[in-house]
Structure 1
Amino acid sequence: MNVTPVFETPYERAGVITPGLPLLPHGTERHPVPGGGSRAVPVYAGDEISLLDREGLQFGELVFFKPDGTSDAAMLGAASHGRPDGVISVLANGSRSGAKVAKALDKAGFDLGKGQAIRVFTDGSHSGDMATFHAECDGLLIVAAPGGPMAPETQEPPTELILYIRRANPGEGKGGMAPPDPLADPLHDINIQPGNAISYEVKKGEYIQVLDVQGRECSDFQAFALRDLDKGIEREIDPTTTRTLMGLVYPSPGIFSKYWNVDQQPLVEIVQDTCGRHDTFGLACTARYYEELGYPGHVNCSDNINKDLAQYNVRPRAGWPAINFFFNTMLDETNAIGMDDPWSRPGDYVLLKALTDLVCVSTACPCDVDQANGWNPTDIQVRTYGASETFSRSVGYRKSAESELEQTKETGFHACFARHTRDFVEYNGYWLPNSFTNHGPVAEYWACREKAAIMDLSPLRKYEVTGPDAEELMQYCVTRNVKKLAVGQLVYTAICYDHGGMIDDGTLFRLGENNFRWVGGNDTSGLWIREQAVKLGLNAWVRSSTDQLHNVAVQGPKSRDILKDILWTAPDKPTVEELGMFRFTPARLHDFDGTSIVLGRAGYSGELGYEIFCHPKDAEEVFDTIWKAGEPHGLTPLGLAALDMVRIEAGLIFAGSEFDDQTDPFEAGIGFTVPLKSKNDDFIGRAALEERKAHPQRKMVGLEIEAGLVPSPGDCLRIGKAQVGEVTSALKSPILGKVIALARVDVTHAEHGTEIEVGQLDGQQKRLKAKVVPYPHFDPTKERVKGNYA
């Protein structure tokens, strides 16, 4: 075992860095192995095989089969560790990756039970550790990252390994990426080279995948109802109709996902989109566009579409309106349309479903004179799939610009909430309910204020921080004084950059002397903490447990009454009724032998409330138990729209609204999380925060709006003609009966009672009268959170 570094590097040329296009050495492949999952990859004599433990403490197991079906660890220069129980357990756990490996083994006729295991990272590996082997003959390599479900009171999540293969004979030629594997067995599998257009027919219910093979390449798409074409009627996708009916610049997976023609007939709907950034319905490139740039005769997509659709007797157009997938256009404040390099990465795609029999046309854009294709036109792959295939709705999500693509996930509680609504929206890589049928945001709001509500908060990011130096690491990374945090206590805190701007806010749980759990709003904070552990050389591990811990919150005056009779805690632990504010405890459903959970007394509503963490496999049981106990108390499901209402009233901040990386905790209204006087130790951003506190520029305030209109986040605040701040969040408060807002203003105008105006229509032509007031607007003394109701 050795540590040959094989890492991606951002593409860079002449001072332009593109982290979204990570590069590997020529001939090197990257294959992520999910925690609790596996991969099967063919290898060839002379290939170098490297396995990276990305987060640390993740055991790995490899099995190598020769072409004759025998397994021989010596062919990788390693010793056999006996039967590959780790791989066998992973293949038996029902995971998607395990099913693919099992299929590969079955196809090859290999018997895993006769395999020889090679085990790595068995002695407490750290983040970044790597094991390297060399193949002495051709064969099939199986790699697994074994691990089972993590109990919520433990801290042993299975995490990802990365398999790198450096090919001994990578091949010659132009290079570039090959198209990824199809999503299913394709009906059509068409490669379109730049400067070409190809038409194809698709039946109702079939799927169309438009795939950017190399990244940063645009593809125009247009579709006609075949039945209309047979009658000589041309009714293609119409941008104006689509925008009007969908209320979006372009549709996306979810409820508002369809593209329509002028007869208001839906032609296709978006099922999956891994890029999320496309054209705002300009024309496909035209001859005139290139002529006016000084390139007469340049090949263009509109002429290509005309040529290929001639076989269907479609009349030619000087410029074709089209969905231009991956083309990055935008409108600026002067109403000018601009463009930049596409956001698409290698392998990004959109998946559409045909809603009637169609004639479709797709292009690979030839533009090489501007940023439309990153100055380098490449190929597009089009695949179609049968109507019998099943594809879940998803939007592409990445933890960072360099990270692997992840499809939108369903939380463990998704099926439970789906009994009550179809209105789900994508949030941080998961589908979350927005509102509920037969309730609606206002009714859900009142349930939370007067009775109880249950909401899905599973997308919160969880990271297990363990090891002898865990306290030192967290003391350095968060603004709170971690040394004062007792076991069984949780604290709300901020994480900042060196300049004082916020990375995230969240809660830190102390599970033991050297055991912490960070629960934040995004992956950036967890990745940042791990980066600091490596940078400082601390003996601490930071491992993601988001997929192992899903959670619901039960909030409202009746929340304690609902939970107290269904949760059991050990004699040395507090009961539900005894659990204090900002405390947590391991618990079980019903009794000693019940399903394991962790119960925390916290929330995001301004009400008495609790959060219940469990493994996703137990989520349905947890939900049903709470629901049954809650029905007599009027328990109601609560979605994101209502959650926004209760949190604004309670003065609780939200990323991207009240704070970002340019906003410090004082400006975000959570200066109490920065105890500069009582925390003597240094922490990230301390010097900048001391300076910012001594010389404040902006302050978070409450506003009461005189008019009945609700301002939008980002609306400017003005005194006279001068802008002095901006609205961060606003609503018409049901319980207060007036429009209120959270806002950030210059300290000169932050005094209570200051009259101020919300500017609209360029900030000058329309004004909403307002005044600065204390916040939280609702229950400022937090009596309801304490459970003290009048």
Structure 2
Amino acid sequence: MLEMIKEEWEEDRFLNLQSPIDSQQFRVEGQQAIRLLLHTGDVLEIRSVDSEQAAEIIVLDMEGKSAPQLLDSRAPVTADNIQQQLQEKGTAAKALAKQFENWQIQAEDYQTVLRVEGDESSSFVAYADLTVVIVAAGPSMSIEEHTPPTELQVMVKYAEPVAEVLPEPLAEVKKEIRIPRASARTYEVKKGEWIQIIDVSGKQCSDFIVFDKQALEQGKEVGLDATATRTVMGLSNPVPGLHSRFLGPDMMSMVEVVQDTVGRHDSFLFACTAKYYEDSGYFGHISCTENFNNVLKPYSIEPRAGWPAINLFFNTGIEPCGTVFMDEPWSRPGDYVLMRADKDLICASSACPDDIDPANGWVPTDIHVRIYGAEHHFPRSIAHRITAEEHPRMTKTSGFHNRTSALTKKFIEYAGYWVATEYEGWGANAEYLACRERVAVLDLTPLRKIDITGPDAVAFLQYVLTQNVRRMAVGEIAHSAICLETGGMIDDGTIFRMADQVFRWFCGDSYTMVWMAEKAEEKGFKVSIRNATEQIHNLAVQGPNSRELLSQIIWTSESQTSVEKLKWFHFTIGRLGGPDGVPVMVSRTGYTGELGYEVWCHPDAAETLWDAVWQAGQPFNIAPMGFDALDMLRVEAGLSMAEYEFGPDVTPFEAGTGFSVPLSTKEEDFVGREALARENPESRHKLVGLILDGGESAAHGDLVYQGRFPVGIVTSAILSPLLGKQIAMIRVAPEFAKQDTRLEVGKLDGIQKRLGGVVVKLPFYDPKRARLLS
């Protein structure tokens, strides 16, 4: 009777508190498709992000037959873009064809479609229950073209608001478990099976515990171990990639995180306990621990006063003083974590009942679990969002990934892509030496590529970039910053002048394109801004032998500059292996301080390019290079990096890239010019080098001292193979930036331990850039 009263009380408390979901946003990436179910009266809105990508919409009735009239009365048109894409032989064509096959869409279903042109923002109302397939189709773009298929934004406004969002299954579902709010459920999974835990309404914590099934059958309770997990993984919360495992007390993996659309959780705090509610004055409040004790009884698992758990979607953090705090979860409706069982497991999941603090956004809701068979494969990925309200973007692999992953398993997520940190059989030092002494090859695909064209392209770029674009010649490259009105840096990158009013901007931050589009609209510039990142992947080929290597495999026509004659910060268009080879763009650029190049191609040609570079590089003892070696090279070369040397509170002059702000020769106004012009050169902080005395290392964020008080900060630090010493790039007050000044890096609390060093000019390596310009 007491349990019934509790359940009724909890149900009454939570009833009607949850805010209904009246709309949902989706994204269709270039050359991809999404499938949505609409109900009568639902409103579908579609727009092109860059106002140039057409949408083609396949409409199917509930029997799976083509029925465009159920969504719009206008006459359907030929699906030109879909058919063009499917007629190609590349990866995008195969992927779209596979989607259609999985969705049982026949060729006759996409002969005619509804079409939304890129410069339209169309709204449709469903006349009946139906399925729509929205496709951002288009042919693949060659390297010398500027027509990339780009993404669409889709919004569904529900006629009847819904209480939850269940994402489309990742594959055929083996079992589904619904965990009603304020309850817990157990379920069994076999080794190799996949567990998807879904927050259906958003901001709902789900505690997760597992037990080794075989051990339980032998009378032993073997569950997750917080100490083993955190010690071995080196993280407070495992994430997809290298640090993805939750371990048992034997330090063997029990479950692995494979996909995560949230990225903000906690691990091994208690699932909420009766004591927590009683101490807060809520006597008799149901808890996750009590719910776990009840559902684990059939397995003869002893009850506990508190269950250590993986607290999925639980947003906690630790203040510098050590205080643990919580806030509303980051999870949105439909967000999930996907894990793979490394043993036969007994699992227990809860839908937390906590409604007295922000842990569940104040309103507890349901959790949904899907189990997939071991025969499926799901790629590792972590979600990120460019803007707060958009659909999550999952980590991608570049066109070179099949080649790089054959040489190493050490990958990290960087700017939305998996990149190698170092290669097995080489290691960071050997890769570094290959670049300094011979030649090395690096996958740099995460760079963002933005095509900017149109009659106002020059005027627009003069406004948004610090660099004087008007002075550039066709075929020339320039480094530039992009600044806020305050002078702080949003991003930096390189601008390629492809033609008089045609440019390609390479940078690190996806938000740069959003910001550029806002400025173009705000000022009324007639310019096209298109994201070509998915159509252009690139290798950096760096080192003293890079010119000789590439000269053997890159063919250029008489109208283009050969690799041998290509000047620093210039580019050329050529083909791989001869006049009939795949198109490539070669730029004499890099991030290493060495003679070097970058080679740009369509991802379908990526493996062909890698193989050609790798084979031609064998006589030079070529090495693959990961990001650990790259960091060593760029610090020695004194090259700035986002979130290290610069950010929105650091100006180009303070970041060591003041050369990209020609205030004296650029007459036009640009964003941030007034603030930068106001800066007093004598008082601004400066980026300089610091050579440390001993073998102990400094780290990004360490404070730099002279005497008791800090005078600057360490932005980057490495052990330099060149100098055989610990070195750091530091940003310090001008009074302490002079060469040979003695400074100290503060460790521990900054006072108890100091690492002495001497200030030097940047760069540490090749100060006259003789090797770079050779």
* TM-score under structure 1 length normalisation: 0.92
1:751 CA displacement:
1.4
Asked if 1:112 corresponds to 2:99, the answer is no
Per-residue CA distance 1:42-90 (angstroms, 9 max, x = gap)? 4455554432111122123334455677756555555436533333444
CA contact (8 A) 1:178 1:213 kept: yes
Q: 1:67 to 1:232 in 2, by over 3 A?
A: closer
Who is 2:32 aligned against?
A: 37
Who is 1:523 aligned against?
A: 510
Per-residue CA distance 1:16-42 (angstroms, 9 max, x = gap)? xxxxxxx99964444433222233444
CA contact (8 A) 1:279 1:323 kept: yes
Who is 2:5 aligned against?
A: none
1:282 match: secondary structure? strand
CA contact (8 A) 2:210 2:345 kept: yes
1:420 CA displacement:
1.3
* Matched-pair identity in %: 43
After superposing the two structures, state which structure 1 stretch, 42-51 or 576-585, moved more: 42-51
CA contact (8 A) 1:555 1:605 kept: yes
Residue 138 of structure 2: which of 147, 161, 165 is its match?
A: 147
Who is 2:315 aligned against?
A: 328
1:565 match: secondary structure? helix
Per-residue CA distance 1:100-159 (angstroms, 9 max, x = gap)? 3444344xx78326x4343332xxx44xx4023445555443432221111111110001
Per-residue CA distance 1:210-254 (angstroms, 9 max, x = gap)? 111122211111110011111111111010011112222122212
C-alpha distance in 1 between matches for 2:272 and 2:678: 52
C-alpha distance in 2 between matches for 1:63 and 1:576: 47
Asked if 1:171 corresponds to 2:171, the answer is no
CA contact (8 A) 1:279 1:326 kept: yes
Who is 1:3 aligned against?
A: none
The amino acid across from 1:301 in the alignment is: C
After superposing the two structures, state which structure 1 stretch, 687-696 or 557-566, moved more: 687-696
1:328 CA displacement:
1.6
1:291 CA displacement:
1.6
Q: Identify unmatched segments of 5+ residues in structure 1.
A: 1-22
Q: 1:73 to 1:392 in 2, by over 3 A?
A: closer
CA contact (8 A) 1:394 1:408 kept: yes
CA contact (8 A) 1:280 1:330 kept: no
After superposing the two structures, state which structure 1 stretch, 727-736 or 606-615, moved more: 727-736
CA contact (8 A) 1:56 1:543 kept: no
The amino acid across from 2:151 in the alignment is: E
1:564 match: secondary structure? helix
Who is 2:78 aligned against?
A: 83
The count of corresponding residues between Structure 1 and Structure 2 is 753
Q: 1:181 to 1:74 in 2, by over 3 A?
A: closer
After TM superposition, list the pairs within 5 Å mapping 1:213-612 onto structure 2.
213-612=200-599
Per-residue CA distance 1:507-562 (angstroms, 9 max, x = gap)? 01111111111100110112111111111121111111111100000000000010
1:668 match: secondary structure? coil
Asked if 1:156 corresponds to 2:147, the answer is yes
C-alpha distance in 2 between matches for 1:36 and 1:247: 39
CA contact (8 A) 2:555 2:562 kept: yes
CA contact (8 A) 1:51 1:162 kept: yes
After TM superposition, list the pairs within 5 Å mapping 1:628-667 onto structure 2.
628-667=615-654
C-alpha distance in 2 between matches for 1:46 and 1:493: 49
Q: 1:301 to 1:68 in 2, by over 3 A?
A: closer
Per-residue CA distance 1:336-355 (angstroms, 9 max, x = gap)? 22222222222221111111
1:489 CA displacement:
0.8
C-alpha distance in 1 between matches for 2:334 and 2:69: 35
C-alpha distance in 1 between matches for 2:97 and 2:413: 27
C-alpha distance in 2 between matches for 1:415 and 1:640: 17
CA contact (8 A) 1:41 1:140 kept: yes
1:619 match: secondary structure? helix
* TM-score under structure 2 length normalisation: 0.94
The amino acid across from 1:145 in the alignment is: A
Per-residue CA distance 1:448-483 (angstroms, 9 max, x = gap)? 000000001000011111111111111110100111
After superposing the two structures, state which structure 1 stretch, 187-196 or 541-550, moved more: 187-196
The amino acid across from 2:481 in the alignment is: A
Q: 1:438 to 1:138 in 2, by over 3 A?
A: closer
CA contact (8 A) 2:204 2:331 kept: yes
The amino acid across from 2:56 in the alignment is: E
Q: 1:43 to 1:278 in 2, by over 3 A?
A: closer
1:633 CA displacement:
0.7
2:535 match: secondary structure? coil
Who is 1:781 aligned against?
A: 768
C-alpha distance in 2 between matches for 1:275 and 1:165: 22
2:277 match: secondary structure? helix
The amino acid across from 1:677 in the alignment is: S
1:395 CA displacement:
1.2
C-alpha distance in 2 between matches for 1:213 and 1:661: 35
C-alpha distance in 1 between matches for 2:62 and 2:368: 32
Who is 2:14 aligned against?
A: none
CA contact (8 A) 1:601 1:610 kept: yes
Q: 1:499 to 1:379 in 2, by over 3 A?
A: same
C-alpha distance in 2 between matches for 1:24 and 1:304: 25
2:175 match: secondary structure? strand
Who is 2:47 aligned against?
A: 52
Q: 1:110 to 1:778 in 2, by over 3 A?
A: closer
Residue 754 of structure 1: which of 741, 745, 757 is its match?
A: 741
2:268 match: secondary structure? coil
CA contact (8 A) 1:61 1:120 kept: yes
C-alpha distance in 2 between matches for 1:519 and 1:637: 23
After superposing the two structures, state which structure 1 stretch, 618-627 or 92-101, moved more: 92-101
The amino acid across from 1:392 in the alignment is: P
CA contact (8 A) 1:715 1:727 kept: yes
CA contact (8 A) 1:280 1:329 kept: no
Who is 1:7 aligned against?
A: none
C-alpha distance in 2 between matches for 1:253 and 1:688: 41
1:339 match: secondary structure? strand
C-alpha distance in 2 between matches for 1:468 and 1:219: 54
CA contact (8 A) 1:502 1:659 kept: yes
After superposing the two structures, state which structure 1 stretch, 467-476 or 36-45, moved more: 36-45
2:586 match: secondary structure? strand
1:177 CA displacement:
2.4
CA contact (8 A) 1:69 1:110 kept: no
